[in-house]
Amino acid sequence: MLLHFMIAAAGTLLARRYALQRDLLDHPGERRSHQVATPRGGGIAIVVAVLVAIVALVLRDPSQRWLLGGFGVGLVLVAAVGMMDDHRPLPASLRLAVHALAGVVLAISVQMAAGNPWLSVFAFVLAVALTNIWNFMDGINGLAASQALLVALALAWVLGGTWGLLAGALAAACAGFLPFNFPRARIFLGDGGSGGIGFCLAGLGTVAAMTDRAAALWLLLPLSAFLVDAGLTLLMRLVQRERWWEAHTRHAYQAWARVVGHTRVTLAYASWTATTVAVMIVLGATPVSLALTLCVVTYLAASVGWWRLERMESHIKTIGGK
């Protein structure tokens, strides 16, 4: 774990130097939540750390080589198209097509390992969804990396063995990146990093579903903050006929950050997710019906929170106008 922490930390420093030399900067604007031009692309260090872990685990456990190989190929595809987009903006359709291709690669490897077509479909959908959700939710300091760290720790606890070690490597890599991104951002993840993290979590979540479907249900708890914020915001933009694939600042976390600042919001989201991880660990051995009930309650509570945050900013604007 220390090795992957150090790879990510050193890689982030190198990525920052490269971004400054190549003028790869995110500038403030109406579709951004930051106020200072900041380098992007640091998340590639996390991807490299995870790829090193994949190679080491293939050598350690050859029985998992096909599934680990598909995981690694999909991760490279997602990270590569993200890095290209970090250098020069690509059409959203092209990025989505590559994400879908990565999802297909993962689904094929899952089919080869488990022989379950429904699980393969699940792998594809989860890969495309989490890849884009982590990209959508990477808008304020520390949020995407801290959430990934906590979810990865939950996955490490659920999985154990080879895949638990891979989840631990992801958590350690996120921890190595975070000091450069929180509380003050000296570099951002970039599309390659955020998309790569989302794909990693999707692959690990699929393996969790392969080994223990009840445990996979519990994993919905740590994902609740991101799934609710991203899902309801996307639904709202679709209803309002906005160009949903374009960058924006309509998420609840962004609205809240404009009121209380990045640090408080990131810590609040982390507290929510850490609590759900603790609940999952304590109650993980209880009946599946309890897990389902807690998921429903958690998602309803998160939805109410999302609605209140959306209303809060509108209320503040109304008072300011008066």
User: What was the pLDDT predicted at 320?
Assistant: 45
For residue 216, what are the CA distances in angstroms to 122, 291, 317? 12, 10, 41
User: What was the pLDDT predicted at 31?
Assistant: 58
As a whole number of angstroms, the distance between CA 251 and CA 231 comes to 10
As a whole number of angstroms, the distance between CA 164 and CA 68 comes to 13
User: What was the pLDDT predicted at 248?
Assistant: 74
215 contacts 132 by C-beta, under 8 angstroms:
no
User: What was the pLDDT predicted at 30?
Assistant: 59
Pairing of strands 25-26, 38-39: antiparallel
- How remote is the C-alpha of 20 from its chain's centroid? 25
As a whole number of angstroms, the distance between CA 97 and CA 115 comes to 25
User: What was the pLDDT predicted at 246?
Assistant: 75
What is the residue whose two structure tokens read 């939950």?
154
- Cα atoms found within 13 Å of the Cα of residue 252, Cβ hemisphere only: 25
Following DSSP, what letter does each residue of 242-297 receive, concatenated? --TTS--S-SHHHHHHHHH-HHHHHHHHHHHHHHHHHHHHHHTTS-HHHHHHHHHH
Helix (H) or strand (E) holding 26: strand 25-26
As a whole number of angstroms, the distance between CA 199 and CA 91 comes to 20
As a whole number of angstroms, the distance between CA 75 and CA 50 comes to 9
User: What was the pLDDT predicted at 288?
Assistant: 82
pTM of the model: 0.93
**What are the average pLDDT values for consecutive 10-residue runs of the chain, which has 322 residues?**
96 96 79 73 97 97 95 98 94 95 97 93 97 92 96 94 97 97 93 96 95 84 95 90 77 89 95 95 83 93 91 57 44
99 contacts 134 by C-beta, under 8 angstroms:
no
User: What was the pLDDT predicted at 33?
Assistant: 57
